Amino acid sequence: MSAVVTTKRVTVPEIRARKSKAPVVCLTCYHAHTARLLDAHVDLMLVGDSLGNVMHGLESTIPVTLDMMITAAKAVMRGSQHALVVVDMPFGSYEESPQIAFRNAVTVMKETGCQAVKMEGGTRIAETVHYLSERGIPVMGHIGLTPQMFNVLGGFKTQGRTEAEWPAIEADARAIDTAGAFAVVLEGMAEPLAAKITTEIAIPTIGIGASAQCDGQILVMEDMLGLNPNPPKFVRQYATLGPQIEHAVKAYAEDVRARRFPGAENIYAMKQKTA
Ligand code: KIV
């Protein structure tokens, strides 16, 4: 009898096959409890390097390290058993050469058990995407607004607002597709360009602020749940957890100050009473 426990997760080929079919549902996720809550409802969870902003309060994703990504990815893997888990390669871990990118991606996959990695960039990283894909590491691309270029761009702005910008971004999309990526994130992109790229390439496009013309959407979970007081304008909020948490913590603080907190014996006695 086999002692190996197998879980059935969504696979990379299944996501790849969703091109022009049912939209791919994706969210970012950084810890075990939320992974458990998301798992049955999303196709793909991204352990995004946005955890630098969300979890660590950093101004940009530049300081995020491989260790930070691995710690969060392990938690997400422990908390889930259905969704495909993709882990972001942080700034500095893949740009230098395909070989260094391969070694770092192998570390991520061996230590976390995730199924794929994501990296930012178009034509400039196409060779690396090809190198990894050929060697057993599925890669998700990320073009348009690429937050790891924060210092070069001097901030974040929507990409492809003028048609003059389109050819370079379309070339990025084609390069990532041809290199063997299984899907590509289009971030902060004008709708007509996102629509054009979606029809031009063979892999699913996953939009974030890039319109419903894409083959799926990803959002930062904390943004759509109302935990971020300043979410991006394009984010629809499905809950207001920030105010709810504040309300609950205020009630808790009042209870503690009024000494309304039972000890273990009281709870035991209460349980006995209701049994
Ligand atoms: O790091 C992240 O959360 C991302 C998404 C915004 C796509 O890359």
95 is catalytic: no
Q: Give nearest CA residue, ligand 1 atom 5.
A: 48
| Alpha-carbon gap, residue 185 to 182, rounded angstroms | 10
Q: Give nearest CA residue, ligand 1 atom 4.
A: 48
Q: Where are the alpha helices (DSSP H) in 55-179?
A: 66-79, 98-112, 126-134, 150-153, 166-179
In the prediction, which pLDDT does 188 show? Answer: 96
In the prediction, which pLDDT does 176 show? Answer: 98
Q: How many CB atoms lie within 10 A of CB 36?
A: 15
At residue 118, what are phi and psi to the nearest 5 degrees?
A: -125, 145
Atom of ligand 1 nearest to the CA of 61: 1
In the prediction, which pLDDT does 226 show? Answer: 98
In the prediction, which pLDDT does 145 show? Answer: 96
Quote the ligand 1 centre to 146 CA distance (angstroms). 9
* E strand or H helix that includes residue 142: strand 139-144
Quote the ligand 1 centre to 28 CA distance (angstroms). 7
Give the CATH architecture of domain 12-239: Alpha-Beta Barrel (3.20)
pLDDT digits (tens, 9 = 90+) for 112-156: 999 999 999 999 999 999 999 999 999 999 999 999 998 888 778
Pocket test for ligand 1, best of 55, 118, 149, 224 (most atoms within 8 A of CB): 118
In the prediction, which pLDDT does 155 show? Answer: 79
Residue of 120, 170, 187, 222 with catalytic role: 187
**Pocket lined around ligand 1, Cβ cut-off 6 Å:** 28, 46, 48-50, 88, 142, 185, 187, 208, 218, 220
In the prediction, which pLDDT does 2 show? Answer: 59
Quote the ligand 1 centre to 274 CA distance (angstroms). 48
Concatenated DSSP letters of 189-234: B-HHHHHHHHHH-SSPEEEESS-TTSSEEEE-HHHHTT--SS--TT
Q: Read off the pTM.
A: 0.94
Q: Which residues of the chain are modeled with pLDDT < 70?
A: 1-7, 266-271, 274-275
Task: Determine the 3-state secondary structure of 82 from DSSP.
Answer: coil
Which residue shows structure tokens 């994130």?
A: 185
In the prediction, which pLDDT does 6 show? Answer: 65
Quote the ligand 1 centre to 145 CA distance (angstroms). 10
Atom of ligand 1 nearest to the CA of 118: 8
Enumerate the domain spans of the chain: 12-239, 240-275
pLDDT digits (tens, 9 = 90+) for 19-48: 999 999 999 999 999 999 999 999 999 999
| Alpha-carbon gap, residue 199 to 118, rounded angstroms | 22
- What single DSSP character describes residue 19? T
